[in-house]
């Protein structure tokens, strides 16, 4: 539900992260993740979203065979979700001059049939505000989340608060050439002392060039400092090139790729980083997407260790008649852990895959119901973190 004045600067917040349709997990700030890949074909073109207020509600009931994502303590339960989405938009950061604002808030009550003590309310809030002039644009973007779901990294439910903020200034030196400066900070704080909090601050300079109305390229240099409680800081320099290309009306390609130099206690490492996505609508009623990514993150469970996530996801949605839509998506991710601070063993590796079919029925333009099933498996070389999970349920959505 949020737009950005530069497509390549939208890494922090993704519109589909606040879409509830047949989605059981939330991974904040990730363009794609094998555990939480969004139902991208269902996401509407945000440029067509009309200004003003938007209100939606959803209710879902699902059977989850492994609510903790843990093979050693596999617990099944009926999970009910009740939530709403409240959004407001005014102005356009891409087309018109003047002030703009785009905000969204999604509270969700998660209720368990057998484990009532685990009931909670998750919160998501995303915002974008700023001003666009003839040659300059200023924006402030951020997000807040209060979550309690289980993650593959921790192998159990992890109550945590995630906060991200970014300030960005853009100057159009020429008709097709834009310079940008940005600074931001993020932090993840866990309620339990068993997990390790982390924070990141960064500064960035970038240049964007509009080669044509359908092709934009850019180059960005970022310096950041990453801190994890109990471990030494990590200093990172990253250089990436990016491209946004629309070769045809119904094909969109975005790519960001480069390398980072990460300095830690255990030396300096040069790691490739990339994010890529292709969206394709070959005909009316059919949408496909494909993503690939590689990134470095710190473990919240294993002190002094980072993990490299390398994965891809793909999905297709096909409208059948006027009211039915069939969806299928899947993905695979390899996560490799290495020690970057302190002493001790490392080498954990997770091989995660998932497949998720869904069937959606549009009762009216504002009312939809979806049946979904999701099977996933983590073949970890550490038996404490491998798991199997089956999730099946139904969700009702109403757009006011």
End-to-end CA distance of the chain: 16
Position 107 scores a pLDDT of 94
Minimum mean pLDDT among 42-51, 208-217, 224-233: which range? Answer: 42-51
Distance CA 314, CA 287 (A): 11
> 30 pLDDT exceeds 50?
no
pLDDT digits (tens, 9 = 90+) for 57-80: 999 999 999 999 888 878 999 999
Q: Using the structure block, give the residue that is written with the tokens 């969806």.
A: 327
- Residue 330 near residue 357 (C-beta atoms within 8 A): no
Residue 241, number of CB atoms within 10 A of its CB: 14
Distance CA 148, CA 31 (A): 20
> 34 pLDDT exceeds 90?
no
pLDDT digits (tens, 9 = 90+) for 226-282: 999 999 999 999 999 999 999 988 999 999 999 999 999 888 999 999 999 999 999
> 38 pLDDT exceeds 80?
no
Burial of 347 (0-12, 13-18, 19+ CB in 10 A): exposed
- Residue 82 near residue 121 (C-beta atoms within 8 A): no
Position 287 scores a pLDDT of 93
> 54 pLDDT exceeds 80?
yes
The Cα-based distances of 55 to 60, 83, 153, 399 in angstroms read 17, 11, 34, 6
Distance CA 70, CA 352 (A): 13
Average pLDDT estimate for 86-103:
89
Position 95 scores a pLDDT of 79
Structure tokens at 92: 């356009």
> 382 pLDDT exceeds 50?
yes
Position 93 scores a pLDDT of 83
Distance CA 257, CA 243 (A): 9
Question: Mean pLDDT in the chain?
Answer: 86
- Is 30 or 398 the better-scoring residue by pLDDT? 398
Position 125 scores a pLDDT of 92
Minimum mean pLDDT among 8-12, 177-181, 366-370: which range? Answer: 8-12
Position 266 scores a pLDDT of 87
pLDDT digits (tens, 9 = 90+) for 298-350: 999 999 999 999 999 999 999 999 999 999 999 999 999 999 998 888 999 99
Average pLDDT estimate for 125-149:
93
Position 249 scores a pLDDT of 86
Q: Using only C-alpha atoms, what is the Rg of the chain? A: 21
Q: What is the pTM of this model?
A: 0.85
Domain boundaries, the chain: 7-399
Collapsing DSSP to helix, strand or coil, 6 comes out as coil
Position 344 scores a pLDDT of 86
Cβ burial 138-154 (10 Å sphere, 16+ → b, else e): bbebbbbbbbebbbbbb
Distance CA 132, CA 18 (A): 25
Position 326 scores a pLDDT of 95
As a residue count, the chain comes to: 400
Fold of 7-399: Porin (2.40.160)
Structure tokens at 197: 């909090």
Strand partners, 146: 123, 161
Distance CA 339, CA 266 (A): 8
pLDDT digits (tens, 9 = 90+) for 149-171: 888 898 888 999 999 999 999 99
> 359 pLDDT exceeds 60?
yes
- Residue 44 near residue 27 (C-beta atoms within 8 A): no
* Strand ranges, E, within 65-150: 77-90, 98-112, 120-132, 136-147
Structure tokens at 320: 């059948």
Collapsing DSSP to helix, strand or coil, 150 comes out as strand
Share of the chain above pLDDT 70, in %: 88
Position 49 scores a pLDDT of 56
Position 8 scores a pLDDT of 37
- Is 98 or 10 the better-scoring residue by pLDDT? 98
> 2 pLDDT exceeds 80?
no
Position 51 scores a pLDDT of 82
């Amino acid at each position: 539900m949020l737009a950005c004045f530069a497509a390549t600067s939208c890494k922090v917040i993704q519109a589909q992260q606040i879409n509830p349709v047949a989605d059981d997990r939330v991974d904040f700030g990730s363009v794609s993740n094998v555990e939480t890949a969004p139902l991208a074909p269902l996401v509407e073109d945000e440029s067509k979203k009309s200004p003003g207020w938007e209100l939606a509600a959803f209710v879902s009931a699902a059977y989850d065979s492994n609510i903790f994502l843990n093979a050693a303590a596999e617990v099944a339960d009926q999970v009910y979700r009740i939530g709403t989405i409240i959004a407001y938009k005014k102005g356009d950061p891409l087309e018109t001059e003047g002030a703009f604002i785009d905000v969204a808030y999604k509270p969700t009550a998660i209720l368990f049939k057998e484990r009532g003590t685990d009931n909670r309310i998750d919160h998501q809030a995303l915002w974008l505000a700023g001003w666009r002039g003839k040659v300059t644009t200023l924006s402030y973007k951020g997000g807040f989340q209060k979550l309690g779901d289980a993650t593959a990294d921790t192998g159990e439910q992890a109550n945590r608060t995630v906060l991200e903020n970014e300030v960005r200034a853009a100057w159009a030196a020429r008709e097709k050439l834009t310079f940008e400066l940005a600074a931001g900070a993020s932090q993840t704080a866990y309620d339990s002392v068993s997990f390790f909090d982390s924070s990141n601050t960064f500064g960035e300079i970038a240049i964007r060039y509009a080669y044509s109305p359908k092709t934009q390229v850019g180059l960005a240099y970022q310096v950041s400092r990453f801190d994890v409680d109990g471990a030494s800081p990590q200093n990172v320099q990253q250089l990436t090139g990016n491209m946004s290309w629309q070769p045809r009306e119904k094909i969109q390609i975005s790519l960001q790729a480069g390398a980072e130099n990460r300095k830690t206690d255990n030396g300096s490492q040069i790691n490739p980083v990339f994010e890529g996505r292709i969206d394709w609508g070959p005909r009316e009623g059919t949408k496909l997407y494909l993503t690939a990514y590689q990134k470095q993150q710190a473990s919240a469970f294993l002190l002094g260790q980072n993990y490299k996530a390398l994965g891809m996801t793909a999905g297709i949605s096909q409208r059948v008649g006027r009211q039915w839509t069939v969806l299928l998506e899947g993905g695979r991710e390899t996560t490799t852990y290495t020690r970057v601070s302190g002493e001790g063993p490392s080498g954990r590796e997770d091989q995660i895959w998932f497949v998720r079919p869904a069937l959606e029925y549009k009762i009216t333009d504002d009312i939809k119901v979806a049946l979904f099933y999701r099977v996933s498996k983590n073949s970890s070389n550490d038996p404490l973190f491998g798991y199997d999970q089956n999730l099946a349920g139904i969700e009702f959505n109403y757009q006011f």
